[in-house]
């Protein structure tokens, strides 16, 4: 059985994370994805290289793609792109806002060649507003979107990047794949293509549940907080004072955290997640907490922060006294979500991961066997598949140019003139 996007051709002008991730997801769905790179390769190839031109980060984001390095500043290079566009369904561009027009890879230019083209333009801040021409990476968008402040992780009084993963980048990669599929479906109805705008800023805001303002319930307090922030910043106070001001608006809820947090057990660290009173009351019974909120005739709103903090400390002590297996077995028996804290390196051999076919093994042309996470969704009639490992730079140049009508001597000439690699 073939994937849902079999027969769809994607041209990907991309680098780093967001667009490469989106393109890889489309490849897993069966699309033919051709990655257009500079002759030296995109920057992520050159980041902490395992062997020349190959890095772990690049390999993890570019499986299932064909590599065609082109010097887009040459007329011959632009001609190759234009020939590819004629038979392509999708173009994904991930570059500084001013670059596509300079290189002739902008929507206006390419849609004239192919009106059915789906064109995804990915930027940091969108195509309108005061920062429409500004470059930006994940860390900058985390800072400007409120993610860093929301994470509440300070070192020497300075908020730190959410370093576990590039949140805005990966969320945007999902947005790219989702939007491209929707646009392809719309084209089946209309017969014409369209332009898609995706941006890291939108994705960073979308993953924050706090980006909601209900005027009659907290709207005035939010405005007061923003005004207070402006005054504190003008006074150049330390960042911690800004964080304290935010805490006044909505401090972390200790009562909530008792049943939605991590705990040290006698044999390791585990997580527990209860998002309803029904689950919280069960967890309290399992832990052995005398939580007054779950008694008859309880007046939960009268429980003080100090009382809840004391209850939290009691929970820590009770859980620390017994091994993790003891707690996980009892939480599982009561239907309470819980699990051990693991490192991602352990997950390649994890039974739950393997049973759900979440790991694929591919043969890479330069580094050999590669294990990595496979397609992240499963479909019964049109199954997704990791087609092949990420390409060696220029691995598919000859094949792709031959398919466009270039002769072997033409290709040799283009290589000698450093138009392609």
pLDDT at 128 over 70: yes
Question: What pLDDT sits at residue 254?
Answer: 74
Mean pLDDT of 291-320: 83
- Percent of the chain exceeding pLDDT 90 equals 83
Query: In whole angstroms, what is the distance from residue 40 CA to residue 214 CA?
Result: 51
Question: What pLDDT sits at residue 299?
Answer: 59
For 329-342, write each residue's pLDDT tens digit. 999 999 999 999 99
- Residues 202, 175: contact at Cβ < 8 Å? yes
- pLDDT level of residue 297 (50, 70, 90 thresholds): low
Q: Which of 139-153, 286-300, 311-325 has the highest mean pLDDT?
A: 311-325
Among 228-242, 273-287, 301-315, the minimum mean pLDDT is found in 301-315
Mean pLDDT (the chain) is 94
What are the φ/ψ torsions at residue 28 (nearest 5 degrees)?
A: -60, -30
As a three-state string, the secondary structure of 88-126 is CCEEEEECCCCHHHHHCCCHHHHHHHCCCCEEEEEECCC
- Residues 284, 274: contact at Cβ < 8 Å? no
Structure tokens at 356: 């759900």
- The total of other beta-carbon atoms located within 10 Å of residue 261's CB is 15
As a three-state string, the secondary structure of the chain is CCCCCCCCEEEEECCCCHHHHHHHHHHHCCCEEEEEECCCCCHHHHCCEEECCEEHHHHHHCCCEEEEEECCCCHHHHHHHHHHHHCCCEEEEECCCCHHHHHCCCHHHHHHHCCCCEEEEEECCCCCCCCCCCCCCHHHHHHHHCHHHHHCCEECCEECCCCCCCHHHHHHHHHHHHHHHHHHHHHHHHCCCEEEEEEHHHHHHHCCCCCCCCHHHHHHHHHHHHHHHHHHHHCCCCHHHHHHHHHHHHCCCHHHHCCEEEEECCCCEEEEECCCHHHHHHHHHHHCCCCHHHCCCCCHHHCCHHHHHHHHHHHHHHHHCCCHHHHHHHHHHCCCCEEECCCHHHHHHCHHHHHCCCEEEEEECCCEEEEEECCCCCCCCCCCCCCCCCCCCCCCHHHHHHHCCCCHHHHHHHHHCCCEC
For 9-18, write each residue's pLDDT tens digit. 999 999 999 9
Contacts of 254 (CB under 8 A, 6+ apart): 305, 308, 309, 312
Question: What pLDDT sits at residue 100?
Answer: 96
Cα dihedral 174, 175, 176, 180 sign: positive
Question: What pLDDT sits at residue 11?
Answer: 98
Among 103-107, 154-158, 202-206, the minimum mean pLDDT is found in 154-158
For 26-41, write each residue's pLDDT tens digit. 999 999 999 999 999 9
Question: What pLDDT sits at residue 251?
Answer: 58
pLDDT at 301 over 60: no
Mean pLDDT of 49-64: 97
Cα dihedral 209, 214, 218, 219 sign: positive
Mean pLDDT of 340-363: 96
Query: In whole angstroms, what is the distance from residue 238 CA to residue 371 CA?
Result: 45
pLDDT at 304 over 60: yes
Query: In whole angstroms, what is the distance from residue 348 CA to residue 351 CA?
Result: 9
Helix axes of 305-320 and 277-287: crossing angle, nearest 10 degrees: 50
């Amino acid at each position: 059985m073939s994937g849902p996007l079999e027969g769809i051709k994607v041209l990907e002008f991309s680098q780093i994370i967001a667009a490469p991730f989106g393109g890889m997801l489309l490849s897993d769905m069966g699309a033919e994805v051709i990655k257009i790179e500079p002759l030296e390769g995109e920057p992520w190839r050159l980041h902490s290289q395992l062997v020349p031109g190959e890095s772990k980060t690049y390999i993890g984001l570019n499986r299932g793609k064909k590599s065609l390095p082109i010097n887009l500043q040459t007329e011959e290079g632009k001609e190759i792109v234009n020939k590819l566009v004629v038979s392509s369904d999708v173009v994904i561009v991930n570059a500084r806002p001013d670059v596509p027009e300079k290189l002739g890879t902008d929507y206006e230019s390419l849609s004239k060649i192919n009106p059915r083209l789906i064109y995804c333009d990915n930027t940091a801040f969108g195509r309108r507003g005061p920062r429409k021409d500004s470059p930006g990476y994940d860390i900058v968008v985390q800072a400007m979107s409120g993610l860093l402040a929301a994470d509440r992780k300070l070192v020497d009084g300075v908020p730190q990047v959410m370093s576990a993963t590039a949140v805005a980048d990966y969320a945007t990669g999902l947005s790219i794949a989702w939007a491209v599929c929707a646009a392809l479906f719309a084209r089946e109805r209309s017969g014409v293509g369209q332009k898609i705008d995706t941006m890291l800023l939108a994705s960073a805001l979308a993953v924050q549940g706090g980006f909601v303002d209900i005027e009659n319930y907290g709207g005035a307090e939010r405005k007061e907080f923003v005004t207070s922030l402006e005054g504190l910043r003008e006074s150049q106070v330390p960042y911690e004072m800004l964080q304290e001001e935010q805490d006044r608006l909505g401090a972390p809820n200790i009562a909530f955290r008792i049943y939605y947090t991590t705990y040290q057990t006698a044999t390791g660290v585990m997580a527990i997640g209860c998002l309803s009173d029904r689950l919280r009351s069960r967890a309290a019974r399992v832990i052995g907490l005398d939580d007054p909120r779950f008694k008859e005739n309880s007046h939960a709103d009268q429980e003080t922060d100090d009382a809840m903090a004391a209850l939290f400390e009691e929970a820590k002590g009770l859980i620390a006294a017994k091994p993790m297996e003891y707690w996980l077995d009892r939480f599982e028996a009561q239907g309470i979500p819980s699990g051990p804290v693991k490192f991602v390196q352990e997950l390649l051999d994890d039974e739950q991961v393997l049973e759900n076919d979440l790991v694929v093994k591919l043969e890479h042309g330069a580094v050999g066997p590669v294990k990595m996470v496979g397609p992240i969704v499963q479909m019964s009639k049109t199954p997704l598949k990791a087609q092949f490992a990420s390409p060696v730079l220029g691995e598919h140049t000859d094949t792709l140019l031959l398919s466009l009508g270039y002769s072997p001597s033409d290709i040799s000439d283009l290589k000698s003139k450093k138009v392609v690699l």
